[in-house]
Structure 1
Amino acid sequence: MSRSRWGVAAFMVGALSVSLAPLASADADSNIQGHGHSRAKAVGYFTQWGIYDRNFLVKNIVDNGTAARLTHLNYAFGFLDEKGSCISADAWADWQKPFTAEQSVSGKADEPGQALNGNLNQLKQLKAKYPKLRINISLGGWTGSKYFSNAALTAESRAAHVKSCVDMWIKGNLPGLPAGAAKGVFDGIDLDWEWPSSEGAPGNVVRPEDKPNFTKLLVEYRKQMGWSRDLTAFLPADPVQVDRGFEVRRVFSLLTFGTLQGYDYHGAWDPTANQQSALRVPKGDPSEFEFSSQVTVDAYLSRGAPRSKAVLGVPFYGRGWTDLANVNKGLFQNGPAAPATYEAGYEDYRILKTKLDAGFKVYRDERAGFAWLFDGKTFWTYDDPTEMKRKARYITDRRLGGAMIWSLDGDTPQGELIKALSSGLS
């Protein structure tokens, strides 16, 4: 599954707030430097559910060289209940599933009766192997943001939400396990509220006051967690959603950094085959609204986001359409979602790469900065190593904070994408 579908075509309280404002930015910058993050961030999302259909384990990011190249790993996702308290989306994957020696980062099998199993124990082993790697729990996501508005609604609900999340994920007090069983696994919290004051997944609770409440929620996190822990957020690509849901300058003063959505500009929800992660809007784009990484980055910078805290998202997957006219190499032609392994219109890079041996040719728009595959009928827009290097150059040239990856399970066993991306980051 993808992180989100933002559907652009359709779509501190009082004195405390004032008193923390000037301190937030200065403390946040010193906090980053204190953790050795003056270099570009390389942030990767590890999906909780990837251990099932993709059989992608924490051990795999060691084997393919990814872990050594990351500064941050976000574990996706923790959910919220209706009251806004933190809960697990899948306790079996999180802390119950035992791993064999062959599946384990440490090379040792989980033993019967040990307190912590599952992905969290594997992340704990990963931290032992890479002590400079910061590991954060990501809350929400496309399917897990339903009750964020409830959590952020009042001073009382914000305090209760943060307390429950810190208790569960930072202090490691997991249901059914000894107190503190998962303490030390996570260094901080990544908020993936999709989206304040804008509907994301159908059924999400959305309120006009989500915009100021999001800022107040960040203040509460800083109040309870302090500045020694990471506090990050995933932020939308659509400038309309940015203005509707985020006090950008204030938000970034409270965050360690923010990750900007750099993908899903177009997808199977659109009838027209188009780029999903281009750096610039391609010439001839027939869309009513034009979107690209440059549009997104400029939106945040012009609203007060510091370059050093703006981390651009990159996809390790592609978006596809089929039954297209064999015109313009498939670009801007109409058709339904292309058949795929896990979800129609969505395919991991490691699978898309194999299409080059099945009659597909790769095409590039060097000016706009994107690539696609086409075989005369089916079109896949994706980022290969060449495009990852292009993204890295763009990030470096614009002096942005780094790159964020959705998601690590899309790469090859040789780590082709992470190696290409990290080679250009500085």
Structure 2
Amino acid sequence: MKRWGAAVVAVALSIGLSVAGSPAQAHDRHGDNAVRTVGYYTQWSFADRGIPVRYLVENGTAAKLTHLNYAFGLLDEQGRCVSSDPVADYQRPFPADRAVNGRADRPGQALAGNLNQIKQLKQKFPRLRVYISLGGWTGSKYFSNAALTPESRAAHVKSCVDLWLKGNLPGAPAGAAKGVFDGIDLDWEWPSTEGEVGNVVRPEDKRNFTKLLREYRSQLFVQGLKDRRTYDLTAFLPANRDALDRGYELAAVYKLLTFATVQGYDYHGTWERTTNQQSAIRVPAGDPTTPPDSGEIVVDAHIERGAPRHKITLGVPYYGRGWTGVTNQNNGLFQQSTGPAPATYQPGYDDYRLLKNLLASGDYKLYRDEKAGHAWLFDGTTFWTYDDPIELERKGRFIRDRKLGGAMIWALDGDTPQGELIKGLVAGLHRR
């Protein structure tokens, strides 16, 4: 900070430089043929699912992405940025057949793990911008501590810039990961609203979130001057309108972000006993819930609260949610269940590349509501709501027709080896 001075930063911020002005937008301009396609690749994709970064090259996804978010970096109790899994992030060596560049990692090299694979991905696709995502559902416990005071905000951002942008990883050579990330994505779930049980939550989180973004913009501007580049700032924002109103000064937040990714899924799930859609574009006829949820409702809620359309990047799921013990009526939709369906990774949750096999087995029938824009599988007792390539193409058209900024994918390891989902989504985003 001292090199450039607070006055330089203040002037830059006052004219919108790197906040809503030319540097941030220079990397984020898009028209009808260049909307954002943002995908999350998770820290555990390889260890838990056997999906390395190379998979994104082989199934054609990487060539279709504009941005990749690596999830997640965490915060300690003081609000400082830390790696929750150094082995996965930067220590695990990759063999040649799993490496993006086809060459095995060497013993003692400065950077290994997922970050080195992402670095190789950027070398192969130099227009791809990559962000480190901080927090997530199980990693947002201490965001409130980070945002609490001017001192805690400054210390938090400094630690994140040092770890992820300067690339100073513990136990690795200085700057080992420099250049991997082009920005920071905040996944605080949620300010002033409890997400995961045990999260630190304060009423002042709402205004402190805006202040935290300003601190990020200030330090990212200074670091960008030093590095002669622009660092971006994005955030994941909720679908729930109560969480929006309790936790965000939304118009101000959007002005400070390069763009936002907006929750376009988990409208319903197995925390409820009644089966339902989790990501429909419009509210299906007969939906018994109050208030109803849909992509259309969520997008309108953000726009009504001051979000510019071109900064709304609507989330789409590469996974489904399932119930079992379902009453065999209405093809399983809006019926009572006995609980979550058995699944591969956690009860009631499975990736599309696996759910696709249920339909192929012949035991399940596919149902589709073309007006509302959602699909589901039902075998008479087990119900799965999910998005297939047809529904993702439909969502892509919705995003294009509403002149939104693009689509965000959670998560990339859910697609098939043939890249069926990314093909459907991109077709909808770009097809005339």
TM interval, short-chain normalised: over 0.9
Residue of 370, 376, 401 corresponding to 1:397: 401
Q: Equivalent residues in 2 for 1:23-422 (5 A)?
A: 23-24=15-16, 28=20, 30-35=22-27, 37-38=29-30, 39-226=34-221, 228-335=230-337, 336-358=339-361, 359-422=363-426
Shift of 1:356: 1.0
- Relative to structure 1, the CA distance from residue 63 to residue 29 in structure 2 (aligned partners, 3 Å threshold; closer, same or farther) is farther
The one-letter code of the counterpart of 1:329 is: N
Q: 1:22 to 1:309 in 2, by over 3 A?
A: farther
The Cα offsets for residues 205-232 of structure 1, whole Å up to 9 and x where unpaired, read as: 0000000100000000010001721100
**Deviation for aligned residue 1:334:** 0.9
Q: Could you give the per-residue CA deviations for residues 22-55 of structure 1, whole angstroms, max 9, x where no partner exists?
A: 6338853533542264121000000101111210
Task: Classify the secondary structure of the residue corresponding to 1:46.
Answer: strand
Aligned residues of 1:25 and 1:254 also touching (Cα < 8 A): no
Say whether the 8 Å CA contact 1:17–1:219 is kept in structure 2.
no
Superposition TM-score, scaled by structure 2 size: 0.93
| Offset from partner CA, 1:314-366 (integer Å, 9 cap, x none) | 00000101111110000011111110000100010001111112211111111
Question: Structure 2: where are the runs of 5+ without partners?
Answer: 1-6, 225-229
Instruction: Determine if contact 2:19/2:257 at 8 Å carries over to the other structure.
Output: no
Name the SS of the counterpart of 1:102 in structure 2.
Answer: helix
CA distance in 1, matches of 2:193, 2:261: 18
CA contact (8 A) 2:25 2:258 kept: no
SS at match of 1:389: helix
Show CA shifts across 1:255-294 (max 9, x none). Answer: 0000000000000100100000001111111113211111
User: Residue type matched to 1:30 in 2?
Assistant: S
Partner secondary structure for residue 175 of structure 1: coil
- 1:25–1:253 contact (8 Å) kept in structure 2: no
Q: Can you give the 5+ residue segments of structure 1 that lack an aligned partner in the other structure?
A: 1-14
Look up the equivalent residue of 2:358 and give its one-letter code.
K
Q: Find the residue that maps to 1:77 and give its secondary structure.
A: strand
Q: Which amino acid aligns with 1:240?
A: D
2-structure distance, mates of 1:372, 1:51: 28
1:12 alignment counterpart: none
Deviates most, 225-234 or 394-403: 225-234
Match of 2:48, SS state, is coil
**Native 8 Å contact 2:18 2:217 kept in 1:** no
Q: d(CA) in 2 for partners of 1:145 and 1:415?
A: 31
2: CA distance between counterparts of 1:88 and 1:35?
Answer: 27
| Cα-Cα RMSD | 1.7
Secondary structure class of the residue paired with 1:362: strand
Whole-Å Cα distance in 2 between the matches of residues 331 and 356 of structure 1? 17
Change (3 A) 1:424 1:132: same
* Distance in structure 1 (CA, Å) of the matches to 2:129 and 2:302: 25
1:424 corresponds, among 411, 415, 428, to 428
Equivalenced residue count is 412
Label 1:22 to 1:108 Cα distance change in 2 as closer, same or farther (>3 A).
Answer: same
Answer yes or no: is the 8 Å Cα contact 1:95–1:120 preserved in 2: yes
SS at match of 1:203: coil
Alpha-carbon distance, 1:403 to partner: 0.1
Q: Say if 1:145 and 1:339 are closer, same or farther in 2 by CA, change over 3 A.
A: same
